[in-house]
């Protein structure tokens, strides 16, 4: 492919180095029978994922100087299904924590769930309506550490109770963090069922109650980190609404968004927001 003008979402040389070994190893394990290496560079296929994540465009609307849907979606789906995208995310998460002088895996996580609208075309069988928040769509649950890094993601129909999301998040957090999680903080939307499930996993689940005297949004110690992470994820327009047919694709979008955030943190790059004129992509 000829040289093109870079997009703000592109990985720099320094950032590409952080994930290139995983991508190269994957490519070596999945060689074409004919020996053909493909018409597009792997780096360009990876660049297409954060481009779509930040702009929210459809697969068919990827710009012509990036690989087309046929190539980009193939890798996105393959890395979603075999866990490569999450492997990259976990490696970077450990590096960010080490850079902050913390152990690779956390002992404390914060859980929360939000309901988001879905796009037209998302199967009704995979969505629902949150009766409390009156939101039709899906429920996106996160478990994060005290740095706001994602430890686990759960995607369910919005009609599912927060307990269902909490149980999924605890199971994943216990597995993804290598069994180091000892405590989880949750809000009052989670009930005793989550506390009991945490006990079965040797995780102390604490329901943090809101100050009844407080008015409006009041950040709670440590728990505010998960709210901050939700705010960061919304900078990726593909996550403002759930466009994915498969819940696994929705979860993969979260991991790729955080991967993009972490490579920027590790290389000291500023995160562009919509307020920055240079952040206009496409």
pLDDT digits (tens, 9 = 90+) for 3-34: 789 999 999 999 999 999 999 999 999 887 65
* Cβ neighbours, 10 Å, residue 224: 14
Q: What pLDDT is attached to residue 1?
A: 45
Give the H/E segment covering residue 204.
Answer: strand 204-207
Tell me how far CA of residue 50 lies from CA of 9, 24, 87, 91, 238, in angstroms: 6, 19, 17, 18, 10
Specify burial of residue 92 (Cβ count, 10 A radius: 0-12, 13-18, 19+): buried
**What is the separation of C-alpha 138 from the centre of its chain, rounded to a whole number of angstroms?**
15
- Quick one: residue 130, left, alpha or beta (phi over 0 = left, psi -120 to 50 = alpha)? beta
CATH class of domain segment(s) 104-240 = alpha beta
Domain limits, the chain = 104-240
Q: What is the spatial distance between Cα 95 and Cα 18, in angstroms, rounded to a whole number?
A: 10
Phi-psi region of 18 (alpha: psi -120 to 50; beta: other; left: phi over 0): alpha
pTM: 0.90
Maximum average pLDDT range among 37-46, 248-257, 271-280: 248-257
Mean model confidence pLDDT for the chain:
90
Give the Cβ contact number of residue 221 at 10 Å: 8
| Lookup result for tokens 């465009």 | 57
- For residue 157, pLDDT beyond 50: yes
pLDDT the model gives residue 183: 96
Q: pLDDT tens for residues 226-267?
A: 999 999 999 999 999 999 999 999 999 999 999 999 999 999
């Amino acid at each position: 492919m000829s040289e093109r003008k870079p997009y703000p979402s592109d990985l720099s040389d320094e950032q590409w180095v952080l994930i290139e070994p995983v991508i190269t190893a994957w490519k070596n394990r999945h060689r074409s029978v004919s020996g053909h290496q493909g018409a597009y560079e792997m780096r360009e296929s990876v660049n297409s994922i954060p481009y779509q994540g930040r702009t929210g465009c459809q697969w068919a609307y990827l710009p012509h100087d990036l690989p087309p849907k046929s190539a980009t979606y193939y890798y996105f789906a393959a890395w979603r299904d075999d866990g490569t995208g999450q492997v990259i995310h976990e490696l970077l998460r450990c590096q960010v924590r080490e850079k902050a002088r913390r152990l690779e895996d956390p002992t404390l996580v914060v859980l929360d769930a939000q309901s988001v609208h879905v796009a037209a075309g998302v199967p009704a069988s995979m969505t629902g309506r949150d009766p409390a928040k009156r939101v039709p769509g899906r429920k996106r649950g996160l478990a994060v550490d005290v740095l706001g890094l994602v430890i686990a993601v759960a995607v369910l129909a919005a009609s599912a109770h927060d307990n269902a999301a909490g149980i999924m998040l605890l199971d994943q957090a216990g597995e993804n963090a290598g069994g180091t999680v000892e405590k989880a903080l949750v809000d009052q939307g989670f009930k005793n069922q989550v506390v009991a499930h945490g006990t079965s996993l040797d995780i102390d689940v604490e329901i943090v109650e809101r100050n009844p005297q407080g008015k409006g949004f009041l950040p709670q110690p440590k728990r505010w980190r998960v709210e901050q992470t939700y705010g960061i994820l919304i900078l990726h327009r593909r996550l403002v609404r759930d466009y994915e047919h498969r819940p696994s694709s929705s979860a993969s979008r979260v991991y790729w968004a955080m991967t993009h955030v972490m490579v920027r943190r590790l290389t000291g790059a500023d995160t562009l927001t919509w307020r920055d004129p240079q952040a206009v992509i496409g």
